């Protein structure tokens, strides 16, 4: 009984986006249906004014509420939250088609089992910053897009296509059928800065603790790596994605 109650609460919170940048970018993008905007009585500033103005323009109800109401969302709510519809994932076939139509050098990012929502949010932010056309995440044993991911991405999640697939390696096979090169990020691969990257490309970034799964690695056409000094074992997934996507953006 308690477990079911907790699951219902988690499902509810997945439809609450909080934080000033996250809410602002959500309203700007206009991809999701927003039902209600909640603003703390103590919230002030230019961004808050812009959020309220946008909400009113879009016909979204604005509620001024006591600041303690935000405690159930997060201490980092920054005094603003919005009730929205769940994010809509795009079918893998549509993602491939749209990426090839929108770019002469399509670039997708495949995430092989990212479990930390803060890492996922940061990676999404990097993908948007460096111009990736879309992201592919697995349905199982990986985090999906929730309110924490949205907050960590600073609203970037509203500005990129994301596909959620049941079988990552079947998705990779489909990409290959559409002439994508599959490039795995893994220690021991070609040096990133000197590698020749063909396009269309899909960069595969592994999980925080284990890197690429063996089967995923076997599906890659080749591997690339970031040269590092041996002071630490490796960069975390979000930092590695920033370095890789920056270098790839130069090669595009």
Q: How far apart are CA 140 and CA 166, in angstroms?
A: 7
Residue 36: count of CB within 10 angstroms of its CB:
14
**3-state DSSP assignment of residue 135:** strand
Q: What is the predicted pLDDT for the residue at 170?
A: 96
3-class SS of residue 20: helix
Distance CA 7, CA 143 (A): 15
Residues with Cβ within 8 Å of 75's Cβ and at least 6 positions away in sequence, in order, are none
Give the tokens for residue 141. Answer: 């044993």
d(CA 158, CA 29): 6
- Compute the 3-state secondary structure of the chain and give helix, strand, coil in percent, each to the nearest 5: 45, 25, 35
pLDDT of residue 47: 95
Tell me which residues of the chain have a pLDDT lower than 50: 1-14
Give the per-residue pLDDT at 8: 36
- What is the CB-side half-sphere exposure of residue 63 using CA atoms within 13 A? 13
Beta bridge mates, 222:
183
The per-residue pLDDT for 148 is 86
DSSP string, 161-176: EEEEES-HHHHHHHHH
Cα 201 to the center of its chain, rounded Å: 18
> Two tokens at 137?
């995440």
Q: What pLDDT, on the 0 to 100 scale, is given for residue 195?
A: 86
Largest CA distance in the chain: 57
Q: What is the pTM of this model?
A: 0.83
- 161-165 and 181-191 as β-strands: parallel, antiparallel, unpaired? unpaired
pLDDT reported for residue 75 = 65
Q: Residue 189 has what pLDDT?
A: 81
State the Cα–Cα distance between residues 77 and 198, nearest whole angstrom: 42
Asked if residues 229 and 184 have their Cβ atoms less than 8 Å apart, the reply is no
Of 141, 133, 140, 150, nearest in space to 92 by CA? 133
Enumerate domains of the chain plus CATH numbers: 2-84 (3.30.1330.30), 92-251 (3.40.1280.10)
């Amino acid at each position: 009984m308690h477990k079911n109650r907790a699951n219902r609460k988690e499902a509810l919170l997945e439809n609450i986006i909080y934080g000033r940048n996250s809410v602002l970018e959500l309203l700007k993008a206009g991809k999701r249906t927003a039902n209600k905007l909640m603003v703390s009585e103590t919230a002030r500033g230019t961004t808050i004014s812009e959020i309220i103005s946008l909400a009113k323009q879009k016909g979204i109800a604005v509620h001024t509420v006591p600041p303690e109401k935000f405690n159930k969302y997060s201490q980092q709510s920054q005094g603003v939250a919005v009730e929205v519809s769940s994010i809509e994932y795009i079918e893998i076939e549509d993602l491939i088609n749209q990426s090839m139509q929108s770019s002469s050098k399509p670039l997708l990012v495949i995430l092989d089992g990212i479990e930390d929502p803060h890492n996922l949010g940061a990676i999404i932010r990097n993908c948007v910053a460096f111009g990736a056309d879309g992201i592919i995440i697995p349905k199982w044993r990986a985090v999906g897009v929730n309110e924490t991911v949205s907050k960590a991405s600073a609203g970037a999640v509203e500005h990129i296509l994301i596909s959620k697939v049941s079988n990552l390696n079947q998705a990779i096979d489909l990409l290959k059928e559409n002439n994508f090169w599959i490039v795995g990020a893994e220690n021991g691969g070609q040096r990133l800065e000197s590698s020749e990257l063909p396009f269309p490309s899909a960069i595969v970034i592994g999980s925080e603790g284990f890197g690429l799964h063996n089967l995923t690695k076997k599906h890659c056409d080749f591997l690339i790596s970031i040269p590092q000094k041996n002071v630490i074992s490796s960069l975390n997934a979000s930092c590695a994605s920033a370095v890789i996507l920056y270098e790839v953006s130069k090669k595009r």
